Amino acid sequence: MNINILYEIYCIKLIITKKHSGFRWYFKYHLDIHTTEWLETFLKEFKGAQLIVSHDRYFLDQVCNRIVEVDNLRAWPWKGNYTQFLAQKTASEAALADAIGNLEKKIQSTMGAMAQMKRANVLISVKE
């Protein structure tokens, strides 16, 4: 029997016997369809926090209702599954880009006004 299969069976045994532990490691990509469906159902019904690391977007969409993105040494919480997280993040980044653009326009406007005031002060000084 493959060592990964034995480890998966061990992990499933731990899931069933230690219902309150929050950190679990699943080798979902080695599971057959029935076991994957069972795992998805179990995780959906589980009451408590879980840390799931997966590259399988479909799996994350099925079992997650909250995503925490760790970026730049900070945790960013998002409500919803993985697809909703991507949509929210895209919208948030677009809003941030718009805010940065508006701020850059204000800076340019203020710098232009300051340059105009500086020229006006020079002209007043020259006339005196």
Q: What are 69-118's pLDDT values in tens digits?
A: 888 888 889 999 999 999 999 999 999 999 999 999 999 999 998 888 88
pTM above 0.85, yes or no: no
**pLDDT computed for residue 126 by the predictor:** 56
CA distance 21 to 10: 15
CA distance 82 to 61: 5
In the chain, which ranges are continuous DSSP H helix? 3-17, 33-45, 57-63, 82-127
User: What is the residue type of 82?
Assistant: Y
**pLDDT computed for residue 30 by the predictor:** 67
**pLDDT computed for residue 123 by the predictor:** 60
Q: Where are the domains of the chain?
A: 1-52
- Cβ 78 vs Cβ 88: under 8 Å: yes
Q: What is the mean pLDDT of the chain?
A: 80
For 46-67, write each residue's pLDDT tens digit.
Answer: 887 788 878 888 889 998 999 9
Q: Which residues contact 57 (CB under 8 A, 6 or more apart)?
A: 82, 83
Nearest to 21 by CA among 51, 42, 60, 63: 51
- Cβ 21 vs Cβ 13: under 8 Å: no
